[in-house]
Amino acid sequence: MKSNTSLNAIIKKALLILKNPILFYREMPKSGGYLEPVLFVTVMAVMVGLLMTLFSIFGLGMIAFGFSTILFTTIMSIISSFIGAAILFFIWKLMGSNESFETSYRCIAYASVVYPLVAILGPIPYVGSAVSVLFGTYLMIIASVEVHGIKQKTAYIVFCILGIIGLLANINNEMLVREIASQTDDFTEQFKGFSDNYSDTGGNPIDMTSEEDSMGEF
């Protein structure tokens, strides 16, 4: 598998991971520097930002994305990829892997192919979170076997446990986010109604004597 950092090559690589992840990880170079995998994560993160921007235009997204948000998302995705690689590098070592941190990073970086899928399925409650964890877990099982030489049974046991924990955590987080968003919308509506009650059609404050009297009686 030749190293190529062009956009066309990155897209072809992403399609190969989706189509045949076993073949991809089996032939994945274990070294060669961090530029190529980092660029892969960058492209996937930018695609997420563009998709979310498109969804927000049609009212399907929870957050309105702009250039600064896309930039922030990309930077955080790169940082998260290194943190995730460090965690899994330690886990793989415990499982008996002899591969380097760079190899672990490459395994994690190319798993970011799931980002655009999650963004596409994001408007459907909890589906995006489930796909992110389940497909990501599947890719890590394949990487464990094909790249790190870990027994398939061991890989399934370890990563299925981690996947279940991750799935429960993601669902809980999404429930919390949606609850906060719902409360924010309710507060906005209440504040708008409160504001409308104290202004006339011309936008000027109305006589509040009756309201003050009512409050005094209360």
State pLDDT tens for residues 106-157.
999 999 999 888 888 877 777 777 888 899 999 999 999 999 999 999 999 9
Which amino acid is residue 166, in one-letter code?
G
Indicate whether 54 pLDDT > 90: no
* Mean pLDDT taken over the chain: 81
140: CB partners within 8 A, 6+ apart: 88, 107, 111, 155, 159
Domain that holds residue 12: 7-192
Per-residue pLDDT tens for 21-48? 999 999 999 998 999 999 999 999 998 8
- Predicted confidence at residue 212, as pLDDT, reads 46
- Predicted confidence at residue 50, as pLDDT, reads 82
Question: 17 and 110 in contact (C-beta within 8 Å)?
Answer: yes
Would you say residue 214 lies in a domain?
no
Lowest mean pLDDT among 65-79, 173-187, 188-202: 188-202
Would you say residue 98 lies in a domain?
yes
Would you say residue 76 lies in a domain?
yes
Give the separation between CA 184 and CA 167, rounded to whole angstroms.
26
Would you say residue 153 lies in a domain?
yes
Name the pLDDT band for 161 (thresholds 50, 70, 90). Answer: very high
Give the separation between CA 119 and CA 50, rounded to whole angstroms.
10
Would you say residue 89 lies in a domain?
yes
Would you say residue 162 lies in a domain?
yes
Would you say residue 46 lies in a domain?
yes
Question: 129 and 61 in contact (C-beta within 8 Å)?
Answer: no
Give the separation between CA 28 and CA 103, rounded to whole angstroms.
9
Give the separation between CA 131 and CA 117, rounded to whole angstroms.
8
Considering its fold, how many domains does the chain have in total? 1
Give the separation between CA 113 and CA 40, rounded to whole angstroms.
8
Would you say residue 112 lies in a domain?
yes
Closest CA to 66 of 76, 80, 56: 56
